[in-house]
Amino acid sequence: VRLVGDPLGSSIRDDDVAADEWRFRLLQAGLTLHIGASSALWLWPRSHVWAGCVFIVMFLGCGASIVGKYSWLPGLALLAVSLSEYVGVPIALLPVELANHNLVEHCVYGMTLLAAAGDAQGRAAVVSAARTTVAVVLFYAGCQKAWYGHYFDGQYLAWLNSHEPRFHEFFRLIGLDAHFTSDRSALQFKATSATGVLLSNAAWLGEITCGLLLLSRRWVEVGAVGGLLLLVAIQMAARELFFAGLVAQLLLLFLPLRTAVAATPLVGSFYLLLLAARMSSNGLEFGR
C-alpha cells in the first residue's frame, strides 16, 4: 500500500495533488463514520447484531479510506444500509424522512465511492465539489432567511424562543431570552431590543458572508473558520449534531492539510461520543 507523502510533514504543499489526495481520503473516512454512525443508530433499536455489523463495516471503511484501497467496497455496503432506511416509505412522504443534509451526505459519499475507484483527477474534483457544496449550503441558508424575511426584526428567533425549549434554554444561557420574549397571546413575535435585532440579522448575514468568503481565493480560510464558529453557535441552540458533523467536515476541506489532519481525531471522537451517548440513553435527544 503506497501512502502519498506525510500529511503532517512539510513536504506536501496545500496546492499539491498529494494534498488533495489526502483531503479526499480524510473526507471519505469522515463520511464513512458519518453514514455508518447514522445507520448504526437507526439499526440499534431494531437489531443490536446488525448495528454491530454496521459498526465493524464502518471501521473497515474508515481504514480502507485512509489507506486508499478498496474503500468503495465497505462504502457501498454502508450506503446500501443507509438508503434502506427509506425502503417502504411512500414516495409522497419520502421528504419527511429525508432531511436536507441527508441529500448532501448521500450525494457526496456516493461520488467519493465512484472517485475512489477512479483516478486522482476525479478524486480532486470530488474534493472541489464537496467544497462548493458547503459554500452553497451556507450562502443559500442565509439567502433563504433573507428572502422569507423573518429575521429582519427577529421575528423567527422570537418565535423559536417561545415555542422551542432548546432555543429558549440557549437564549437564557447567553442571557438574551429577554430580548426575544414576545406576548404569545398577541400572536406576534419580534425581538424586543436592538441587541435581539442585531443577533437575528447577524445570523443570516454571517451565513451569506461565510459562504461568499469560501468562494474567494484570498479569504477562504477566514470563511472556513468563520463558518465553523457560526456552526458551533447555531448548533448550541439547534442541536442537530449530524448536520453539524457533516458541515464541519466539509469546512475542514478549506483549511491547511495539517490542520485538517490534526482535526481528524476530533471528528472521530465526535461521532464515537455521539454513538455512545445515543446508544446508552434512549431518552436523550441529541438531534438528527
Partner 1 sequence: MTTTWRSQIAPKLQVLLMAYTCAIWIWPPIHFVASRAWKLNPWKFGGWAMYTQPVPDVRVNVSRDAGRATQTLTPEYLYLGVPGGAEAHVLYSKTRELWGRLASPVGLANAVLSHFPDQPAIRITVRTRGMDQDGRSHMETDVYLCQRADGSPACQRE
Q: Kindly list the residues in this chain that would bind partner 1 in the complex (CB under 8 A).
A: 90, 92-93, 95-96, 98-100, 103-104, 107, 111, 114-115, 117-119, 121-122, 125-126, 128-129, 132-133, 136-137, 140-141, 143-145, 147-150, 153, 155-156, 158-160, 163, 182, 187-190, 238
Task: Judge contact between 54 and 39, C-beta under 8 A.
Answer: yes
Please say which residue, 76 or 279, places its beta carbon nearer to partner 1.
76
The nearest distance, CB 178 to partner 1, in angstroms, is: 17
Residue 138 to residue 208: CA distance in whole angstroms: 6
If 0-12 CB within 10 Å is exposed, 13-18 middle and 19+ buried, where does residue 208 land? Answer: middle
Please say which residue, 16 or 153, places its beta carbon nearer to partner 1.
153
Instruction: Tell me which residue of 59, 57, 114, 37 sits closest to 276, measured CA to CA.
Output: 37
Residue 85 to residue 96: CA distance in whole angstroms: 12
The nearest distance, CB 91 to partner 1, in angstroms, is: 10
Please say which residue, 155 or 263, places its beta carbon nearer to partner 1.
155
The nearest distance, CB 118 to partner 1, in angstroms, is: 4
Residue 166 to residue 161: CA distance in whole angstroms: 8
Give the three cell numbers for residue 168: 429558549
Please say which residue, 14 or 183, places its beta carbon nearer to partner 1.
183
Task: Judge contact between 85 and 97, C-beta under 8 A.
Answer: yes
The nearest distance, CB 234 to partner 1, in angstroms, is: 8
Please say which residue, 60 or 135, places its beta carbon nearer to partner 1.
135
The nearest distance, CB 126 to partner 1, in angstroms, is: 7
Place of cell 417502504: 88
Please say which residue, 157 or 267, places its beta carbon nearer to partner 1.
157
If 0-12 CB within 10 Å is exposed, 13-18 middle and 19+ buried, where does residue 9 land? Answer: exposed
The nearest distance, CB 100 to partner 1, in angstroms, is: 5
Residue 78 to residue 255: CA distance in whole angstroms: 28
Please say which residue, 122 or 268, places its beta carbon nearer to partner 1.
122
The nearest distance, CB 192 to partner 1, in angstroms, is: 11
H/E element, 215:
helix 194-215
